[in-house]
Amino acid sequence: MDLDSGPKVMGDDGEFHAVDEEVSFEGTPFEAWVALGFFWALGLVVFVQFITRYVFNDSASWTEEIGRYLLIATVFVGAAIGVAKNNHIQVDLLFRYLPKTPSRVLSTAVDAMRIVFYAAMVLFTVQMMMKMESYKMTIIDLPMNIVYGVCLFGFAAMTLRSIWVARIHWRRGYSVLERPETTMSDR
């Protein structure tokens, strides 16, 4: 291994020189901004919980419940980012040994099953919301369907993103399962 083959960070003057890459939010999906908003709201609620519990010694009871719901919202909306980047856990060992045609067929079937699964979760969430429309949160007098609505948004975003990923796989003729060295940005 040649140590001089990488970028030079130590200058001739013996000082450390590093240049940061330009930060760009250009490719950030809408769901990422929503998840970031939920995450910051969660951080604020946890901060309020910490202050009321340990500084004032009088814990605000609503922070526990709202914190839990904001964590759920962050996870469900954030999962759509994983679908968009196609980087959820996957096992591609089988694809290394299959011939090209069966590998492509199986990969397309995986894309189709992912779409069907997320679409089914959308339908099941709507059904659950219809059955639980009169339920309220434990401490705060708000409907639980607010929480389930955020989960519905997350599942709907995952469904749309999985359709988008399947279209990319179809257009380029292979998926990340078939060529694990690629990413969604390799078009």
CA 138 to chain centroid: 28
Q: What digits encode the pLDDT tens for the residues 61-116?
A: 899 999 999 999 999 999 999 998 887 777 777 888 888 898 899 999 999 999 99
Instruction: Report the pLDDT value the prediction gives residue 15, as an integer from 0 to 100.
Output: 79
| Average pLDDT for the chain | 88
Tell me what pLDDT residue 6 has. Answer: 58
pLDDT at 176: 82
| pLDDT the model gives residue 168 | 92
Which amino acid would we find at residue 143?
P
Burial of 15 from C-beta contacts in 10 A (0-12 / 13-18 / 19+): exposed
Distances in Å between the Cα of 129 and the Cα atoms of 138, 158, 175 are 17, 18, 35
- The pLDDT score that the predictor gives to residue 5 is 60
Mean pLDDT for back-to-back runs of 10 residues, the chain (187 residues)? 60 77 84 94 96 90 93 95 84 82 90 96 97 90 93 96 94 84 68
